[in-house]
Structure 1
Amino acid sequence: MSVELGYYTLSVRDLDRAAAFYGALFGWEFTREHDRYLHVTNTAVPMGFTSDEPSSQPNLYYHVTDVDAAAARVAELGGSAGELFDSKSGRGCTCTDDQGTVISLWQPEPGFG
């Protein structure tokens, strides 16, 4: 099984300011999923913005074909899986490996991955 980066998010304080800045800088276009999330519609690797405190690192989501099975496998290997969530772009889960490193898993909806 080959697992690669499938989605990533950047945390910003203000979604509208981020859309104006990154739209002008990179030509990115956006759709708003809800009041705390913007999806970028014109990038090769799917991505979006979440409204939260700014982060120095993006949140990376690894593309898996079955997020439920992958989350269960994380637990089998000594890690822990958080609550599974659904969005327009797919189903995801934040996990912690057996050393405490946080990763995210993502099973895309058709058209997103």
Structure 2
Amino acid sequence: MGVRGGNLQIDNIELNVSDIDRAKAFYGKAFGWSFTDYGPTYCEFSDGRLTGGLTTGGPVRPGGPLVILYADDLAVAQSRVTAAGGRIVRPVFAFPGGRRFHFQDPDGYELAVWSAS
């Protein structure tokens, strides 16, 4: 996932899309974004400042993108999330470039935390 941010800072935004090629065509034409493919279900985008992802790995959620934070230590971040009242909705899993988990905050918003290690 691109160049990582600082510990416990927003690092990435992921959009679930129904068709990666169509999304790449749209964002490339509309905003000049560049893309790096990581298999058939994931593509990283870059707008020159921020990176994010286009994925078909989950349902399309028109209500908003998935905000992803970076953590130096994924286990510590997960403990902090649960101690603060968050609920883990997708346990830690591996992906090309690292591992991550998803959680819901007390209002039901889903976010994720990833780590390169």
TM-score using structure 1 length: 0.77
Return the alpha-carbon distance in structure 1 between the equivalents of residues 39 and 99 of structure 2.
16
Shift of 1:75: 2.3
Report % sequence identity: 28
| Change over 3 Å in CA distance of 1:53–1:78 after alignment to 2 | closer
2:27 maps to a residue whose letter is Y
CA deviation string 1:12-52 (max 9, x = no partner): 21110111111111111212212221111453222011124
Structure 2 unaligned residues grouped into runs of 5+: 1-5
| Residue 20 of structure 2 is aligned to residue 15 of structure 1 | yes
1:29 maps to a residue whose letter is S
Q: Count residues with an aligned counterpart.
A: 109
Match of 2:81 among 59, 74, 84: 74
CA deviation string 1:58-109 (max 9, x = no partner): 1101122211211122223333223112222432110123454422112247
2:95 maps to a residue whose letter is S
| Residue 34 of structure 2 is aligned to residue 26 of structure 1 | no
| Residue 93 of structure 2 is aligned to residue 90 of structure 1 | no
What SS does the aligned partner of 1:34 have?
coil
Q: Is the 8 A contact 2:7 2:72 kept in 1?
A: no
Match of 1:102 among 76, 92, 110: 110
| Change over 3 Å in CA distance of 1:28–1:103 after alignment to 2 | same
RMSD (CA atoms): 2.4
Structure 1 unaligned residues grouped into runs of 5+: none
